[in-house]
Amino acid sequence: MKKTVKIEGLDCPNCARSLQNEINKIDGVNNAEINFVKSKLSFESNDVNKATEEIISLTKKVEPNAKIILEKNNKNKTNFIVDLILLVLGTALGLVALLVNLPTWAFWIIFVASAIMLGYKTYIKAILLLFKGIINENLLITISIVGAAALGEYMEALMVIFLYTIGKILEKLAVDKSRKSIEKLTNLQPEYAVIVKDNEEIEVTPNEVQVGSLIVVKPGERVPIDGVVTEGDATLDMQSLTGESVPVSISKNEKILSGSIVLDGVLYIKTTEEYKNSTVSKIMNLIENAQDKKSKTETFISKITRWYTLGIIILAILTLAIGWAISKNFDTSIYRALKLLVVSCPCAFAISVPLSYFSGLGNASKNGILIKGSNYLDALSKLNLLAFDKTGTITTGEFQVQKVESLSENYNEEDIIFLASLGEQYSLHPLAKSIVKANTKKLEKVKKVKEVAGEGVHYEYNKNKYFVGRKNKKHNISVEIYENDVLIGKIYLNDTIKPSAVDACQQLKSMGIKLCLLSGDNKLKVESVGKKLGIDEVHSELLPQDKFCLIEERKKDKKNFIGYVGDGINDAPSLTLADVGISMGINGSPASIEASDVVLGDDNIEKIPRAIKISKFTRKIVWENIIISAVVKLTFLVLSLVDVASMMLAVFADVGVTLVAVLNSLRALYYKPKKK
């Protein structure tokens, strides 16, 4: 049996991952996953109640700051207020202890009370984790405080824990800011749907709505399931889906996506998907699973911090031993060792790197770009070759009438469209639908309708026999209309290029990315599209396996880092093979969405250069944080060892660089890519 509970107080992705690993070690608990974004823990167990109790007990030991919440409450805000009150009281008591002339016993009572109020969570966590064989920055800080107090450096001892606690509070605020930004997207999930049945409105859960049901959505409500508008006009807020703030108008016979908010008007919608396959459900799944796939940089930092802390403690012990052996001064030697512990604390690395990627993923999501993990966010920045599928990706996949040619004196162009539509209204072929859509006259019923697959439709109208069919030409698609076996007209159709495609290709080329068009269509048509878009390399008449082989061949050159953009089930192999697979979120097939690494929420390929720019900026932020933290820590490490920097300066350096790194990480959340 599966259960999901709320978990609060986890303020860093690494903490969440460590706790998740520990929970999975509990007997009888399987597939435990902590969703850092939504602050939720899900797990499977045959005895859920017993497993929940063990998880609560383990959480208290491993992550004292975290709490499993079984019922709805508002403790998170209360805990934050309590932390602030304790910080103020602890600081006040510390000032009394340091500035007022007190008896020794009174001094120690007030000093210890101050130190406990300022950092009790840090000490408890350090001790509990130490019993489990885990050494991290909490232990470094605890040792530093105890050591400084033992040496009589009382002000420095309190400053260490005061600044560290301030830093942790600010880190929490930064993480919450980033988390809430992403949580706005998870609020897309509708709570109910209203079905219209026998002129009655029935409120049900979205999962209960079947394909083909009629639902109604009123002003202020969120569309629960994808469908087609059957009645009504409205303005939609689609910012959560597409990242665009401008409202969109919608009317009868137009597709509507779940997650859209109806601003005005009442819409009646015929559902075309089950809830689990609707746009909002896909987006929810992608957002919730994005944290599970880490970049190499993030994974490396996560692994190295486990051993880094132990290494720092060993180095501090060696510093103490060597300094004592040389100077014969124990107090000076241990003071240097304690400064080394403080200045070497890995907080800046441990929090800023995952927070940078977390912010970058949140920024992309706000822009309607769903990236399945920080490893793919990282990979986007390295692309130098991007291959596109044509139909449905570069082009709309919907045919439009480009030209009508009448070959009879009895009929004009409008008549030719009308006569063709009389037969095509009975066909489900995409070309037939496009012709019927272009017709402006009222259609009538015709007799003896017979559709021949691969040829066209035969029918009778006004005692004449008609045939409407299609033939592939060199560079276009035409449909011919015959009256009593005499050709009376031709209708030329074309698959139109997406409006965003030209701008997207120009931006990508300006970024130094080589573009490639892969299509199963005929050579002249593909070359025409490629020329209009300025694409560097064009390949036509390809089968799915040909596209796969072409990408495989390009990957043999280690200099190439390849992305593939597609929307169909036939694109799935190529999406999987490419270094980064990018699929369409609305019209993309389930197979292509599953196989891809990046999903464009509104099928707008102009989002691709935007995604790459966010990726490059996030990667830049990550390395800025790593380099700044390393340089500052190394500088103050040397200054501390040669007695130029005091303990207080060391802690300022540690907390200061952590805060700089955290604030710098948040830039990835608010970065707005500019067009070149």
pTM of this structure: 0.67
With 0-12 CB in 10 A as exposed, 13-18 as middle and 19+ as buried, what is 553? Answer: exposed
What's the rounded mean pLDDT across residues 207-217?
Answer: 90
pLDDT reading at 475 higher than 50:
no
Convert the pLDDT of each residue in 235-286 to its tens digit: 887 766 655 556 778 888 888 888 788 888 899 999 988 887 776 666 666 5
Please name the residues in contact with 126: beta carbons below 8 A apart, sequence gap of 6 or more: 136, 138, 139, 141, 142
Under a CB-based contact definition with an 8 Å cutoff, are residues 309 and 140 in contact? Answer: yes
| 237 beta partners | 261
The reported pLDDT for the residue numbered 481 is 92
Nearest 5°: phi and psi at 513?
-95, 130
The reported pLDDT for the residue numbered 472 is 52
CA 183 to chain centre: 11
Helix or strand or coil: residue 274?
A: coil
Helix or strand or coil: residue 229?
A: strand
**Consecutive H or E run containing 463:** none
Neighbour count for residue 64 (Cβ, 10 Å)? 20
Q: Can you state the angle between helices 296-327 and 137-150, rounded to 10 degrees?
A: 20
Number of H-type helices and E-type strands within the chain:
21, 26
d(CA 521, CA 542): 7
d(CA 258, CA 267): 13
Please name the residues in contact with 620: beta carbons below 8 A apart, sequence gap of 6 or more: none
Q: Token pair 């996560």 is at which residue?
A: 302
The reported pLDDT for the residue numbered 374 is 80
Average pLDDT, the chain: 81
Q: In the chain, what's the furthest Cα-to-Cα distance?
A: 117
Convert the pLDDT of each residue in 19-73 to its tens digit: 888 888 888 888 888 876 567 788 888 888 888 888 888 887 777 777 777 654 4
d(CA 567, CA 671): 28
CA distances to 28, 39, 60, 62, 121 from 22, rounded to whole Å, are: 13, 17, 12, 8, 20
Nearest 5°: phi and psi at 245?
-85, -15
Q: Can you state the angle between helices 48-62 and 104-131, rounded to 10 degrees?
A: 130
pLDDT reading at 604 higher than 60:
yes
CA angle (357, 362, 368) in 5-degree steps? 130
pLDDT reading at 226 higher than 80:
yes
Convert the pLDDT of each residue in 59-92 to its tens digit: 877 777 777 776 544 455 567 788 889 999 999 9
d(CA 220, CA 264): 7
What does the DSSP 8-state code read for residue 223?
P
Please name the residues in contact with 642: beta carbons below 8 A apart, sequence gap of 6 or more: none
The reported pLDDT for the residue numbered 34 is 80
- Which of 651, 9, 11, 14 has its CA nearest to residue 350? 14
Residue type, 434: S
d(CA 221, CA 132): 50
- Which of 449, 444, 471 has its CA nearest to residue 460? 449
CA distances to 477, 539, 556 from 542, rounded to whole Å, are: 18, 7, 20
Q: Alpha-carbon dihedral of residues 186, 187, 190, 192, nearest 10 degrees?
A: 130
With 0-12 CB in 10 A as exposed, 13-18 as middle and 19+ as buried, what is 485? Answer: exposed
Lowest mean pLDDT among 10-14, 256-260, 606-610: 10-14
pLDDT reading at 189 higher than 70:
no
The residues annotated with a catalytic role in the active site are 389
Convert the pLDDT of each residue in 412-445 to its tens digit: 999 999 999 999 888 877 778 889 988 989 888 8
What's the rounded mean pLDDT across residues 640-656?
Answer: 74
Which domains, from first to last, does the chain contain? Answer: 2-73 (3.30.70.100), 396-497 (3.40.1110.10)
pLDDT reading at 305 higher than 70:
no
| 514 beta partners | 385
Higher-confidence residue: 211 or 174?
Answer: 211
Residue type, 389: D
CA distances to 15, 309, 324, 637 from 312, rounded to whole Å, are: 20, 5, 18, 11
Instruction: Classify 34 in phi/psi space as left (phi over 0), alpha (psi -120 to 50) or beta.
Output: beta
d(CA 68, CA 57): 10
